[in-house]
Structure 1
Amino acid sequence: MALNNTYGARLVQQETALGAGVQILLLALLGSATGMGPAGWLTGLVFAVASWAVLSRAVHRSRLSSFGPANRVTLGRATLVGGVTALVADSFRGSPPVTLFVALTAVALVLDGVDGKVARRTGTSSALGARFDMEVDAFLILVLSVYVSAELGPWVLLIGGMRYAFVAAARVWPWLTAPLPPSTARKAVAAVQGVFLLVAASGVLPVMADAGVVAVALALLLWSFGRDVLWLWRQSRVVRQQGAGRVLESVAG
């Protein structure tokens, strides 16, 4: 059994390395198609190496014996996000090919709804898969925010940076790390961010319309995060009150 687990873990690590290799291949294709400059290449390579290193460590710590079909979908999506990231980095020296940029981003957004369904249908849902999916989503939103902010202003970065600010705040206030109840509204708001940012990035609307679309996305995100933070704060008060009550009961007893 130990040998089987070791063999399975080795295969999982090979799949993560294969993902990094496919990422580099995609960069080569993008480079030949767009004449991508050093900034795009360097950013894409850093993304490939960093994502491979972080994912490999997470896989090792979770002791997965099989990577699973859902994680393969997410890994493919991460590869596309790496390509989008390289194009955004390269955009500071000139606009990327809009059709290619929109196509890569759109496929990455569509696949966001696929990996979860695959995990549920194949019974391969895992904490690692959920975290992997969330991190890929968050990074894509951050990258799109950076791209759109070049046209609309730095306020757009609030969309991409909000989750990372939440994670940083949780280090100061641990009650923010408590699990949240499932919410369809939260999922819908998260999905809207990528779609609205892609609309703004595509340039199909006038600048004022783009600003309005992104402002709506930001307002929805603020509402969603605010609602969750308020719920977590109330839960933390309940937990503290229950703890204080148990202390008083033990003293009285």
Structure 2
Amino acid sequence: MAVQGHYDTRALGPDTTAGMGVQLLVLEVLCRVVGLGTAGWLTGSAFAVVTWAVLTLALRRSWSGPFGPANRVTLARAILVGGVTALVADSFDRRAPVAVLTALATVALILDAVDGQVARRTDTATRLGARFDMEVDAFLILVLCVYVAMPLGVWVLAIGLMRYAFVAASWAWPWLRGELPPSMARKTVAALQGIVLVVAGAGIVPREVAGAAVAGALALLVWSFGRDVRWLWRARPGTRGATPTCPRAVPDRRPARERAAAGS
């Protein structure tokens, strides 16, 4: 979406500020219900402040108009992710309340399918909204990887770090920022990561089964990234016979993996 017009901080301030306030309220509830410790409280509070600061800065730089219902759904997901982050940070010193952590993560994953639908039905889809959605998804997967890595091993972190490694690689090799065609396989593999990690973290299956499932999810993710990298390599600018990128009404300059993760 081409952003035009004047940005009014008063129109968006209540949404982002209210989001931080609700995040702190959720942390207080966790303190009273499950006994959230100091590490969890501090980590959750830092998550709330950083989310508010980054989102506010992004809105000021590239937004015009109301915050919108889809972004409110994504903000609600971010609040749930903040709760999961606090519980995972607390689990290093004590046993985490698995049922609460699993419930928060599950609702956050379910809402991932809601904000996109709301954006399309209300005609409020934007690049910034898609980026916000993608960042919340990526961070939730990373946090779940940290939690599951405690019983299964640090290799699980590869799932959460792969997207960030891809983005870092695109700084060195700009052709990785090319545009990927839509892919149902890519979306399915991305969704599978969260489901498998939640099940593995919930402890409802034997450790060996959980390890095999997470390893399988990692293998699928490697395949998905590898396939996309291969496509981008063949379609890079200046390559003979490069496959043309998919047409868009408005140029989208986000890195390729971000657009893919956002479901665009």
Do these two structures clear the TM 0.5 threshold for a shared fold by scoring above it? yes
- Cα 1:6–1:164 change in 2 (3 A) is closer
Deviations 1:210-249 (A, max 9, x none): 001101110110011111111111111x534489xxxxxx
| 1:230 counterpart residue number | 230
| 2:261 counterpart residue number | none
| 2:107 counterpart residue number | 107
Q: Partner letter of residue 117 of structure 1?
A: Q
Between the aligned partners of 2:140 and 2:220, the Cα distance in structure 1 is 18
1:149·1:156 contact (CA, 8 Å) conserved in 2? yes
1:13·1:59 contact (CA, 8 Å) conserved in 2? no
| Aligned positions of 1:35-184 closer than 5 A | 35-184=35-184
Deviations 1:128-170 (A, max 9, x none): 0110000000000000000000000010000000000001101
| 2:30 counterpart residue number | 30
Between the aligned partners of 1:110 and 1:149, the Cα distance in structure 2 is 23
1:12·1:64 contact (CA, 8 Å) conserved in 2? no
Between the aligned partners of 1:129 and 1:10, the Cα distance in structure 2 is 19
1:78·1:136 contact (CA, 8 Å) conserved in 2? yes
Between the aligned partners of 1:207 and 1:14, the Cα distance in structure 2 is 45
1:193·1:217 contact (CA, 8 Å) conserved in 2? yes
- Cα 1:41–1:219 change in 2 (3 A) is same
Deviation of the 1:182 alpha carbon: 1.2
Q: Partner letter of residue 183 of structure 2?
A: S
Q: Partner letter of residue 121 of structure 1?
A: R
Deviations 1:188-228 (A, max 9, x none): 11110000000000000111000011011101100111111
Between the aligned partners of 2:108 and 2:63, the Cα distance in structure 1 is 27
1:84·1:105 contact (CA, 8 Å) conserved in 2? yes
Between the aligned partners of 1:28 and 1:124, the Cα distance in structure 2 is 33
Between the aligned partners of 2:195 and 2:184, the Cα distance in structure 1 is 17
- Cα 1:242–1:13 change in 2 (3 A) is farther
Normalized per residue, the structure richer in helix is: 1
Between the aligned partners of 1:135 and 1:82, the Cα distance in structure 2 is 13
Deviations 1:169-197 (A, max 9, x none): 01111111112111111111111000000
Between the aligned partners of 1:69 and 1:103, the Cα distance in structure 2 is 23
Deviation of the 1:40 alpha carbon: 0.4
Between the aligned partners of 1:194 and 1:64, the Cα distance in structure 2 is 32
Bigger relative contact order, structure 1 or 2 (CA pairs below 8 A, ≥6 apart): 2
Q: Partner letter of residue 239 of structure 1?
A: G
Task: Extract structure 1 runs of 4+ deviating beyond 6 A.
Answer: none
Identity percentage over the alignment? Answer: 60
2:238 match: secondary structure: helix
Deviation of the 1:6 alpha carbon: 4.8
Q: Partner letter of residue 226 of structure 1?
A: G
Q: Partner letter of residue 34 of structure 2?
A: T
TM-score for the superposition, normalised by structure 2: 0.87
Point out where structure 1 has 5 or more consecutive residues left out of the alignment: 244-253
2:7·2:60 contact (CA, 8 Å) conserved in 1? no
Deviation of the 1:98 alpha carbon: 1.4
2:91 match: secondary structure: helix
| 2:199 counterpart residue number | 199
Between the aligned partners of 2:106 and 2:38, the Cα distance in structure 1 is 25
Q: Partner letter of residue 10 of structure 2?
A: R
TM-score for the superposition, normalised by structure 1: 0.91
| 1:18 counterpart residue number | 18
| 2:238 counterpart residue number | 239
Deviations 1:17-76 (A, max 9, x none): 111111011000011111111110111011000011111111111122111110000000
